[in-house]
Structure 1
């Protein structure tokens, strides 16, 4: 496991009190095993984050994306991939596929913790105020069941 810190490559404002941060590299990042209390993938946490945050992160659910959706509670110092994302938004994500093959991700250890999750990134973004016709959502892949 590398001890090097990741490099912040982008910080994008997403409302008055929120931002979306892109971190590249650093130590091997484990994943969360359950969605945290304010996880945006949890239906009961809808409205916790502004629509702009979902617009900034949409590319994590694009076909063959090399970006992952990280847990906001883990922070930049110890970034971890979001459990909700692994359960609902990572089916078509290249980084997750490669990480699973290499043993970085153990998807059998991830559960919803008994919480209802949005069916897909698109469904989550729309529930949080992104227009269903917003072009940023057009490349988002559907969940395993084909829903939004």
Structure 2
């Protein structure tokens, strides 16, 4: 079983992204159950179906599978009536880790978060100067929640 250990933070400024290439991601949720969320994500001509288990601290199970992009686009259109997440993701290496910084668009415009995946929950890491408050345990910042209650409506 795959396990994801991830910590999430607000980002206080975005000038460090100037000149950095990101990838546009469109994703929606087929299931929002507490025990598991099921996500479909598209980037250009690639797509994935991801199942994530219930979050416990900074840990949860995760399974991800490539699927045909046309199928994913059809799922987003037909099966994600609550809305989709539109964001640009930047990957920034720092001291042996990779920070994923998501700049949200659409109804979540104005929200910028950074995530770091760790090998264990207590693993130390360098905090970049643009990192703000930690929101790891705040369910409002889960992408599945943002698809139902966008940041712009908080």
When normalised by structure 2's length, the TM-score is 0.25
Greater relative contact order (Cα < 8 A, sep 6+)? 2
User: Which one has the bigger helix percentage?
Assistant: 1
Which has the higher Rg, Structure 1 or Structure 2? Answer: 2
